Structures are given as C-alpha cells and as structure tokens.
Amino acid sequence: MQDKYTYEYAVIRWVPKVEREEFMNIGVILFSKHKKLLSLQYHIDEKRIQNFGGETDIDEIRSYLDAWDLIAQGVKEGGEIACLDRASRFRWLTASKSTIIQCSKVHPGLHPNPEEVLVKLFERYVM
C-alpha cells in the first residue's frame, strides 16, 4: 500500500445549454497531493460538438480550456487563481459552475502512478 498514491479526478464537460443539463465529456482533470500533480487533458471533437450543440463557438471552448490548463499548471498567465496552491486550484476548477465548461463530481482513487491513471481515464471517458 505504501507504493500507491491517492488521487482525485473529475470529468470535464461541455454543457451547451446549461438549463437543459445536457453535456458531452471533453476532458479529465486529476490531482494528487503526494505526487505534487495537477494536470488535465482535453480533446475538442469539432464535428461532434457541432452535431451536438448546433451553433457553437469552438474558439470559445478552446479559450476556456486553455485558461483551465494555465491554472492547473500554476503559471502567472493563469491569473490570480493560478497563484494558489495545487489543492486550491483543483478545488476551484472542479467547483460547481453554471457555465458551458463544468466538471463531474470529484472521485477518489489509489494507484502507484496517477499520471498513468489520467491517460486511462481520458481514454475511457473522452475518447
């Protein structure tokens, strides 16, 4: 058990019409305190998004996700939130929102390599 690390993750969702609560999975965000890891992966399938949501601004979605990535990385270009510690940035990114980019509930796990888990979760829930 000592060679396993706890992690938490959430699925990133694109919600074209918040009031309808319909969504499409577009990414995964994962946090592991002990591995000092906060990372996300996302994929924008433009054709699928256009079919799902009608008139959608793909650049707007990409802009949101790029901002989330800067926050996750903790770089100054990510703004004030990016200056917070990893745990706080993860909590902010995964907090309930009423925007077109939202997260699922946070789920915990235990694995020797959380970075590997991120890839597997991304393949399972997004691709």
Regarding predicted confidence, which is higher, 19 or 45?
45
d(CA 85, CA 72): 10
Mean pLDDT of 104-122: 96
| Count of other CB atoms within 10 angstroms of residue 65 | 20
> What's the token pair of residue 38?
């906060």
Q: What confidence tens digit (pLDDT) does each residue in 56-94 have?
A: 889 999 999 999 999 999 999 999 999 999 999 999 999
